[in-house]
Chains A and B, each alone.
Chain A
Amino acid sequence: AQRVTQPEKLLSVFKGAPVELKCNYSYSGSPELFWYVQYSRQRLQLLLRHISRESIKGFTADLNKGETSFHLKKPFAQEEDSAMYYCALNRTGANSKLTFGKGITLSVRP
Chain B
Amino acid sequence: EPEVTQTPSHQVTQMGQEVILRCVPISNHLYFYWYRQILGQKVEFLVSFYNNEISEKSEIFDDQFSVERPDGSNFTLKIRSTKLEDSAMYFCATLAGLAGVHETQYFGPGTRLLVL
Contact = CB atoms under 8 A, between A and B. Distances in A.
Partners in one complex: yes
Interface of A: 32, 34, 36, 42-46, 49, 51-52, 86, 88, 93, 95-103
Contacts of A96: 48, 56
A44 to B, nearest CB: 4
Contacts of B44: 100
7 contacts: A34-B104, A42-B109, A43-B109, A52-B102, A86-B42, A95-B97, A103-B42
Contacts, number: 55
Contact of A98 (B4, B102, B105): B105
Interface residues of B, number: 27
Interface in B44-74: 44-45, 48, 50, 55-56, 58
Given A49-B102, A96-B48, A98-B105, A44 B43 contact: yes
Contact of B42 (A42, A46, A102): A102
